[in-house]
Amino acid sequence: MAVFPPGGSVDQVARILAQPLPQVLGQAVSVDNRGGASGSIGAAFVAKSGAQKGAPRAEAPGAASAARGLATLHRG
Residue 1 · residue 58 · CB < 8 Å: yes
Say how many domains are in the chain: 1
How much is the pLDDT for 20?
92
Cβ burial of 2 (10 Å; 0-12, 13-18, 19+) is: buried
Residues of the domain holding 22: 9-75
In a domain, 53, yes or no: yes
In a domain, 4, yes or no: no
In a domain, 62, yes or no: yes
Q: Cα–Cα–Cα angle for 68, 74, 76, nearest 5°?
A: 110
- pTM, 2 dp: 0.63
Residues of the chain short of pLDDT 50, as ranges, are none
How much is the pLDDT for 68?
58
In a domain, 19, yes or no: yes
